[in-house]
């Protein structure tokens, strides 16, 4: 049975204003705007009879839910204009409160939801170790064990300095014996060391950690695959408002939004030793994608890896329930500046102040979108702001040097 509960409430705001033509005195006019201040929370969900009994019996209860929190705060001084001939125009405080502030328009959350849902699908029966990739890369891994960070050892070892000629030449640097170390050779050696550490040793150590985690993972007849995606955005707009006719003031509206999407799947499957460690035929599609040169670069921007994994058949898996929870938290602030007046008038009081509108919406649905290929939210900004920017530079320059 669906039910809705509320708490708190939003109060009205009443403002007064008048314009006097000297020497007469005009009466005050009033205006009331409802739902202008305060806090209101509402939630709509479903009640389930004998919920705790059903839960103890292992029955999954998976219903829709939506909630909304609204908070409006703020005030301003109101306006007052004075004419040189003695006429005046003024309002009470909170003049701007009668004009409710609203959020600026943000992009849809659909792409973020598709990305999270696809990742949750992909996480179902996802092995802790991608054995197919490990086997294919075994020779490289063994060579790395016998000679770790080979690029760096080439760079610092006098015995192997002659190998640096393979990294490039043309510009002569300082001499070492009969060999000459070139600047391009030094740069290539450094790039090789960086990439080897980032995409050789780090994945190898993480794989060892995954094996240890798999060994101590307790058996559970029910498993849960989860995925989370987030987005933070800021929008701003500055306009001129006021009474018109030259009685104006600037106002700036800034909206900040944080979105969190959590997707999940509850499922059952039959655990086996080879399946638990990833050595099964079902790993072929995802492993094949991983073995494509620079496929990881594509995954920086597009959820190709998750998409392929989500589409891979998963025999022996029974999906019991799935859900998506979307939280959108938005704060919008409107700030009013100093007023201006036409010729003959002076702004003796500006409606300076700020009003804030805060909302938090939470929506939970018992379903997921099918796997979809989509651009990752904020991928370009993330790549440029972390170590992947250096990775891309090293890959790019190393490819050029090989041409």
Q: Write the pLDDT tens digit of every residue in 213-233.
A: 555 555 566 788 899 999 999
Mean pLDDT of the chain: 75
Could you give the CA distance from residue 85 to residue 346 in angstroms, rounded to a whole number? 11
Position 204 scores a pLDDT of 56
Q: Is the CB of residue 192 less than 8 Å from the CB of residue 151?
A: yes
What would the mean pLDDT of 35-47 be, rounded to a whole number?
Answer: 94
Helix (H, G, I), strand (E, B) or coil at 193: helix
User: pLDDT-derived band of residue 24, with 50, 70 and 90 as boundaries?
Assistant: confident
Position 220 scores a pLDDT of 60
Least confident of 127-131, 203-207, 357-361: 127-131
Could you give the CA distance from residue 78 to residue 381 in angstroms, rounded to a whole number? 42
Residue 90 pairs in a beta bridge with 18, 80
User: pLDDT-derived band of residue 377, with 50, 70 and 90 as boundaries?
Assistant: low
Could you give the CA distance from residue 248 to residue 240 in angstroms, rounded to a whole number? 7
CA distances from residue 184 to 177, 198, 220, 311, 387 in whole angstroms, order as listed: 19, 21, 55, 44, 22
User: pLDDT-derived band of residue 8, with 50, 70 and 90 as boundaries?
Assistant: very high
Residue 76 pLDDT greater than 90, yes or no: yes
Position 94 scores a pLDDT of 93
The DSSP letter of residue 163 is G
Q: What are the pLDDT digits (tens) for 181-215?
A: 555 556 555 555 555 555 555 555 555 565 555 55
Percent over 90 (pLDDT), the chain: 42
Helix (H, G, I), strand (E, B) or coil at 157: coil
Residue 79 pLDDT greater than 90, yes or no: yes
User: pLDDT-derived band of residue 364, with 50, 70 and 90 as boundaries?
Assistant: very high
Residue 30 pLDDT greater than 90, yes or no: yes
Helix (H, G, I), strand (E, B) or coil at 47: coil
Could you give the CA distance from residue 196 to residue 149 in angstroms, rounded to a whole number? 6
User: pLDDT-derived band of residue 165, with 50, 70 and 90 as boundaries?
Assistant: very low
Could you give the CA distance from residue 372 to residue 374 in angstroms, rounded to a whole number? 6
What would the mean pLDDT of 349-371 be, rounded to a whole number?
Answer: 94
Q: Is the CB of residue 377 less than 8 Å from the CB of residue 112?
A: yes
The DSSP letter of residue 98 is G
What would the mean pLDDT of 59-69 be, rounded to a whole number?
Answer: 91
Report the Cα–Cα distance between both ends of the chain, in Å, rounded.
68
Position 121 scores a pLDDT of 87
Q: Would you state the structure tokens that stand for residue 81, as one six-digit string?
A: 């204009």
- Of all helices (H) and strands (E), which one includes residue 311? helix 304-311
Residue 77 pLDDT greater than 50, yes or no: yes
Q: Is the CB of residue 280 less than 8 Å from the CB of residue 270?
A: no
* Domain boundaries of the chain, sorted by first residue: 1-126+223-269+319-372, 129-216+271-313
Residue 119 pLDDT greater than 80, yes or no: yes
User: pLDDT-derived band of residue 131, with 50, 70 and 90 as boundaries?
Assistant: very low
Q: What are the pLDDT digits (tens) for 310-334?
A: 666 666 677 889 999 999 999 999 9
Could you give the CA distance from residue 304 to residue 228 in angstroms, rounded to a whole number? 17
Least confident of 117-121, 123-127, 289-293, 309-313: 289-293
Could you give the CA distance from residue 132 to residue 136 in angstroms, rounded to a whole number? 6
Position 135 scores a pLDDT of 47
The DSSP letter of residue 69 is E
Residue 359 pLDDT greater than 50, yes or no: yes
What would the mean pLDDT of 169-178 be, rounded to a whole number?
Answer: 43
Position 235 scores a pLDDT of 97
What would the mean pLDDT of 97-101 be, rounded to a whole number?
Answer: 92
Q: What are the pLDDT digits (tens) for 269-320?
A: 654 444 444 444 445 555 554 545 555 555 556 666 666 666 666 666 778 8
Residue 163 pLDDT greater than 50, yes or no: no
Closest to 332 (Cα-Cα) out of 234, 197, 261, 219: 234
Residue 127 pLDDT greater than 50, yes or no: no
Length of the chain, in residues: 403
Could you give the CA distance from residue 256 to residue 324 in angstroms, rounded to a whole number? 23
User: pLDDT-derived band of residue 255, with 50, 70 and 90 as boundaries?
Assistant: very high
In 164-220 the beta strands, taken as DSSP E runs, fall at 175-176, 179-180
Which one is predicted more confidently, 110 or 391?
A: 110
Residue 19 pairs in a beta bridge with 89
Helix (H, G, I), strand (E, B) or coil at 59: coil
Position 194 scores a pLDDT of 52
Position 366 scores a pLDDT of 94
């Amino acid at each position: 049975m669906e039910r809705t509960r509320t708490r708190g409430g939003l109060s009205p705001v009443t403002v007064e204003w008048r314009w006097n033509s000297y020497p007469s005195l005009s009466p005050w006019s009033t205006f009331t705007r409802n739902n202008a201040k305060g806090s209101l929370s509402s939630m709509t969900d479903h009640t389930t009879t004998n919920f705790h009994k059903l839960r103890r019996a292992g029955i999954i209860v998976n219903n829709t839910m939506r909630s909304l929190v609204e908070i409006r705060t703020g005030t301003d001084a109101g306006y007052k204009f004075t004419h040189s001939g003695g006429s005046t125009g003024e309002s009470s405080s909170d003049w701007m409160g009668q004009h409710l502030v609203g959020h600026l328009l943000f992009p849809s959350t659909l792409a973020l939801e598709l990305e999270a849902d696809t990742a949750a699908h992909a996480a179902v029966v996802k092995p802790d170790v991608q054995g197919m990739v490990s086997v294919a890369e075994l020779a490289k891994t063994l060579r790395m064990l016998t000679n770790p960070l080979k690029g760096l050892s080439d760079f610092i070892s006098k015995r192997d300095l002659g190998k640096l000629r393979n990294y490039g030449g043309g510009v002569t640097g300082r001499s070492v014996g009969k060999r000459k170390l070139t600047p391009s050779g030094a740069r290539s050696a450094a790039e090789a060391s960086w990439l080897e550490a980032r995409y050789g040793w780090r994945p190898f150590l993480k794989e060892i950690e995954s094996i240890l985690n798999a060994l101590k993972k307790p058996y559970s007849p029910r498993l849960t695959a989860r995925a989370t995606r987030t987005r933070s955005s800021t929008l701003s707009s500055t306009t001129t408002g006021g009474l018109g006719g030259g009685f104006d003031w600037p106002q700036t509206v800034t909206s900040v939004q944080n979105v969190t999407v959590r997707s999940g799947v509850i499922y059952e499957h039959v655990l086996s030793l080879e399946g638990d460690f990833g050595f099964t035929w079902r790993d072929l599609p995802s492993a094949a994608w991983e073995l494509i040169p620079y496929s990881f670069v594509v995954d920086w921007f597009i959820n190709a890896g998750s998409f392929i994994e989500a589409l891979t058949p998963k025999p022996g898996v029974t999906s019991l329930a799935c859900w998506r929870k979307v939280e959108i938290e938005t704060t919008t602030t409107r700030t009013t500046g100093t007023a201006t007046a036409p010729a003959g008038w002076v702004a003796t009081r500006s409606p300076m102040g700020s009003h804030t509108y805060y909302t938090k919406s939470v929506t939970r649905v018992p379903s997921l979108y099918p796997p979809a290929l989509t651009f990752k939210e904020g991928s370009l900004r993330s790549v440029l702001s972390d170590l992947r920017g250096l990775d891309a530079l090293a890959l790019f320059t190393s490819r050029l040097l090989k041409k």
